[in-house]
Amino acid sequence: MSARYEELKGLKNLGQKYAYTDREVMLYAYGIGLGADPMDEKELAFVNEGTLTPRPLKVVPTFASVAAWGSGPGEMNLNRVMVVDGERDITFHQPLPVAANITADSSVLEVYDKGKDKGVVISHQTVLKNEKGEKLATLVASRFARGDGGFGGPNLTQPDPHRIPSRSPDKTIDITTRPDQALVYRLCGDRNPLHSDPEFAKKAGFPRPILHGMCTYGITCRGVLQTYADYDPSAFRQHVARFSSPVYPGETVTMDLWKDGNVISFEAKVKSRSVTVIKNGKTVLG
């Protein structure tokens, strides 16, 4: 067995400690575009705790993706310039509190070596727990390292993605992004210069900085919130998406959604460039 494969497969980091407050909760909601209309009470509930008439602040379910930003199974020694998000799958065990001290347990699940010059996909898991040791959310991420691979390992095939219904969408919505949205979202933790530094973006093969894949992921959660979840974060049980192409800040994201019982399937595209940016999306409500 390849030593490099064994090295990556064995990465594990347990008991990582983090804390967040309502400030981080509101910043994340604003970072994915909620609150653009300052008079929309449903969206304000995620970015404003209320003053004259106090109200509980709501937490966007996918805030789980940044609640323990920086946690992970360990140093993977990859070519950072060539690393992009492949897929994200979050299972929600209970609604996230507005503020909390949490721990994160991270481990590599599997390594899919696509061959020399074809890259490698690394699937890793992080379990968030509250101070009582109860699970809050389980995050499974797939990281596509385009500049690595070819070191060998078992000949494995990635699991098949969620299948989108063949019928026409039940709903289609447009969600606009701001030209400065990546500069706001990066304050949630992801300081990768690919999203803020024009020179770095060009070195990575993009004409200008791109929106974080995880911001687009949050935008799809927002889309389900406003259509089939009635802005109720506690309705979310799972949210899955596969990244297929980047969004540039300022573009409009068009979401197609299909409802089958408690399962919402979705895809997202940027019509102005005729590209699909999110594929095989699935939200489970309950």
Catalytic residue among 190, 212, 239, 256: 190
Tell me, yes or no, if the pTM score tops 0.75: yes
Tokens of 189: 């933790």
pLDDT value of residue 115? 81
Tell me: do 103 and 234 sit in the same domain: no
Give me the catalytic one of 89, 148, 195, 212. Answer: 195
> For residue 207, how many C-alpha atoms fall within 13 Å in the half-sphere facing its CB?
3
CA 154 to CA 274: how far, in whole Å? 37
| Same-domain check for residues 195 and 149 | no
* 8 A C-beta contact, residue 275 and residue 245: yes
Q: Is 113 designated active site?
A: no
User: Is 118 in the same domain as 187?
Assistant: no
- The CATH number that applies at residue 228 is 3.10.129.10
**CA neighbor of 70 nearest in space, from 106, 45, 39, 37:** 106
Is 156:120 a contact under the CB 8 Å cutoff?
A: no
Do 48 and 97 fall into the same domain?
yes
pLDDT averaged over 10-residue windows placed end to end, the chain, 286 residues: 88 97 98 95 94 92 98 89 85 98 97 86 96 98 86 81 97 98 98 95 94 97 98 98 96 98 98 98 98
Q: Is residue 46 part of a domain?
A: yes
Q: Which of 135, 159, 183 is the last residue of a domain?
A: 159
Report if residue 165 sits inside a domain: no
- Domain finish residue from 125, 159, 193: 159
Could you tell me if 145 and 6 lie in one domain?
Answer: yes
- 245 lies in which domain range? 171-285
* Same domain? 152 vs 184: no
One domain for residues 193 and 71: no
For 43, other C-beta atoms within 10 Å of its C-beta total 22
Q: Is 93 a catalytic residue?
A: no
User: Three-state SS for 190?
Assistant: coil
Domain count, the chain: 2
**Which two structure tokens, joined as six digits, stand for 182?**
């990546």
